[in-house]
């Protein structure tokens, strides 16, 4: 485990159920980096959060020696750059075009998760009738697209020595939401994307993932609170 003094200067402003914050927690655990976790009340955001992310005013924010880094995928890349002696999430940079392509491909799929999965999942529980049915069809397509990229691999890759890579860390927090997607959308991840479901189970057995993901039931209960808040049910 890395033991540089600067590791102790890592502080994560986060919210317990956020898949974006969970990415950062899992990444730091994979790298063996110690950090302080600070739970934010998103209904009454702290002055520290508002000062640290004045543009978006959102979690997660990583403070490294007091300097803020915002947006989860940027934080993951920053951790690779700032702690080069820890296991990399992205393929290590070198002069070869193959390495550059592998890094670009990993970034593409992480961006795909950000642009497609979270928004579609939100529509599954927010909407009813045909709009919800459309979201269900889109979610099935998203999951099958991700499964096709995974192929027969154990993980999406990008990391070192068979460890979780950039895409794995970007996607795995959403596996805690799969149960809610299934309940709201009326489908089974196991049936529509069995290889992706098996990948989720493998990831769930890794300590860094198991420690930082809430149970699917807790996520479902959280969504029930959101439904009540927004008058969905």
Return per-residue pLDDT of the chain as tens, 233 residues. 444 434 459 999 999 999 999 999 999 999 999 999 999 999 999 999 999 999 999 999 999 999 999 999 999 999 999 999 999 999 887 767 888 999 999 999 999 999 999 999 999 999 999 999 999 999 999 999 999 999 999 999 755 556 799 999 999 999 999 999 999 999 999 999 999 999 999 999 999 999 999 999 999 999 999 999 888 87
Do 136 and 225 reside in the same domain of the chain? yes
Do 113 and 140 reside in the same domain of the chain? yes
Distance CA 198, CA 188 (A): 13
Domain endpoint, select from 36, 57, 82: 82
Do 104 and 218 reside in the same domain of the chain? yes
Task: Determine phi and psi for 67, rounding to 5 degrees.
Answer: -95, 125
Task: Determine phi and psi for 29, rounding to 5 degrees.
Answer: -65, -40
Distance CA 122, CA 181 (A): 9
Token pair in block for residue 141: 């397509």
Q: Domain count of the chain?
A: 2
User: Does 89 reside within a domain?
Assistant: no
Count of CB atoms within 10 A of residue 218's CB? 13
State the residue range of the domain holding 55.
10-82
Q: Is the dihedral of CA 46, 30, 164, 195 positive or negative?
A: negative
Strand partners, 67: 64
User: Does 88 reside within a domain?
Assistant: no
């Amino acid at each position: 485990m890395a033991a540089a003094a600067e590791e102790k200067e890592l502080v994560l402003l986060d919210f317990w159920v956020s898949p974006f914050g969970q990415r950062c927690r899992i990444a730091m655990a994979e790298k063996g980096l110690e950090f302080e976790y600070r739970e934010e009340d998103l209904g009454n955001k702290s002055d520290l959060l508002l000062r640290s992310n004045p543009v978006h005013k959102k979690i997660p924010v990583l403070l490294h020696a007091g300097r803020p880094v915002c947006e989860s995928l940027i934080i993951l890349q920053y951790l690779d750059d700032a702690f080069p002696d820890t296991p990399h999430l992205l393929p290590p940079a070198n002069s070869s075009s193959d390495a550059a392509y592998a890094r670009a491909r990993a970034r593409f799929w992480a961006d795909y998760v950000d642009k497609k999965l979270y928004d579609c999942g939100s529509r599954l529980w927010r909407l009813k009738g045909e709009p919800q049915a459309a979201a269900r069809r889109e979610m099935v397509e998203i999951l099958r697209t991700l499964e096709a990229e995974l192929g027969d691999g154990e993980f999406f890759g990008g990391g070192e020595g068979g460890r979780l890579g950039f895409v794995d860390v970007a996607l795995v927090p959403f596996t805690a939401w799969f149960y809610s997607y299934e309940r709201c959308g009326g489908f089974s991840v196991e049936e529509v994307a069995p290889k992706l479901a098996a990948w989720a189970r493998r990831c769930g057995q890794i300590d860094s993932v198991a420690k930082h993901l809430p149970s699917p039931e807790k996520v479902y209960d959280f969504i029930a609170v959101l439904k009540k808040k927004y008058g969905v049910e």
